[in-house]
Amino acid sequence: MPPARDVEAELASQRERLLRWLLDDALPLWWSVGADRTGGGFHEAIDLAGHPVRSERRARVQARQIFTYAVGGELGWTGPWREAVAHGLDYYIGRYRRPDGLFWNAIGVTGEPIGGEPQLYEQAFALLALATASGVAEAPLAEAIVERLYAERRGAAGGFTGFSDVRVYQSDPHMHLLEAALAWEQIAPGGPWRRLADEVVELCLARFIAPEHGGALLEYFDSTWMPAAGAPAAGDKGDAIWPGHQFEWAGLLERWALARGRDDVRAVARRLYDIGMRHGIDAQRGVAVFELAGDFSVREPRTRLWVQTEWLKAALILARSENDPERRRGYHRDAVAAARALTLFLDLPVRGLWRDKFLADGTWADEPAPASSFYHIIDALRVLAQSPGVGGNK
């Protein structure tokens, strides 16, 4: 085990290197190449030669790029981040917002809305983008989304329906609702945000976390929030455990629990994190894997970039609220390993791009860099930049 000073020094070095990559390479590239200056908004992807990819555009990508450039400004990017945010926000609200106040799922190459009934996942990212980009100025739009969700998408057993066929419910979009509600709670505490955040957390504790699977958090459910083993839309993955979501929920639950004074929920956050660490790390490749089965065996060793960012973010969030010095150093050691894993995905000739899928045999999927990953990257680096003891705020 390396001495504590070596761990802290390496984490500080990782912080400096990753933030330089973000500010000098990634943010400039995804603005100069990733923004569509003719049609508006942002491209879905940039190929590995550095050219934008023309395709249909998911609403989540537009929302995430708005978030990215707002956070980029917060982190000190000296480029035109305000212009980037306004560019994205004008296109997003103008093209994706429906007459009922919800947002379309995607827009086709020729500009027509596609994707059927609006999904809960897209509404969650609309809320996050509006909170991050403009705050109280866009509060009426955000509150209209929540009002519509409560009026029309409420599940009989709690939570919200995410799909028009409701054959399977998911914990994932509720996680992002919690993320958005916590963001809004900071800037508009008089709105519906505390109620929404509390309801999602209580649903998570009661239904998403499965005692029969060692307290892991599951992904797929039926309309009564029972694990959806065998449900058509879930296939045979009703017991699916995603290490990346153990980490992501751990960070969100820790934030919520600290705000509410709930030490019991802080203990849940640590259990989820420990499950991800104990069962979800491939020591040979040095990465967190994508999926486990209900018995914690590895079901899908192929992994994705976002899993590594959520590992890094959760380790740092738990570290900064940990009073025990040895446990805090342990989280920092984990953060070093996660930062190394993330760096693997960023090592490309065109600086500022990334690979998304790392295969079980140690090779990479040959595909363009998806813009959707940027939200995960910059949010992890925001936590890294703000973490005490690694060159961040003291």
Which of 58, 63, 199 is closest to 127 using CA atoms?
Answer: 63
Q: Which DSSP symbol is given to 24?
A: I
- Contact between 12 and 18 under an 8 Å Cβ cutoff? The reply is no
Backbone dihedral region of 28: left (phi > 0), alpha (psi from -120 to 50 degrees) or beta?
alpha
Q: How far apart are the two ends of the chain, measured CA to CA in Å?
A: 26
Residue 392 lies in a domain: no
Residue 394 lies in a domain: no
SS3 content of the chain, % helix, strand, coil (to 5): 55, 10, 35
CA dist 18 and 236 (Å) reads: 38
Residue 347 lies in a domain: yes
Q: CATH number for the domain including 299?
A: 1.50.10.10
Q: Which DSSP symbol is given to 394?
A: -
Residue 363 lies in a domain: yes
Residue 393 lies in a domain: no
Residue 391 lies in a domain: no
How many domains is the chain partitioned into structurally?
Answer: 1
CA dist 95 and 134 (Å) reads: 18
- Contact between 5 and 330 under an 8 Å Cβ cutoff? The reply is no
Per-residue pLDDT in tens (0 to 9) along the chain, 394 residues: 556 679 999 999 999 999 999 999 999 999 999 999 999 999 999 999 999 999 999 999 999 999 999 999 999 999 999 999 999 999 999 999 999 999 999 999 988 999 788 999 999 999 999 999 987 788 999 999 999 999 999 998 999 987 665 567 899 999 999 999 999 999 998 899 999 999 999 999 999 999 999 999 999 998 899 998 755 555 567 899 999 999 999 999 999 999 999 999 999 999 999 999 999 999 999 999 999 999 999 999 999 999 999 999 999 999 999 999 999 999 999 999 999 999 999 999 999 999 999 999 999 999 999 999 999 999 999 999 998 767 644 3
What tokens appear for 201 in the block?
A: 């957390």
Residue 241 lies in a domain: yes
| Domain span including residue 284 | 4-386
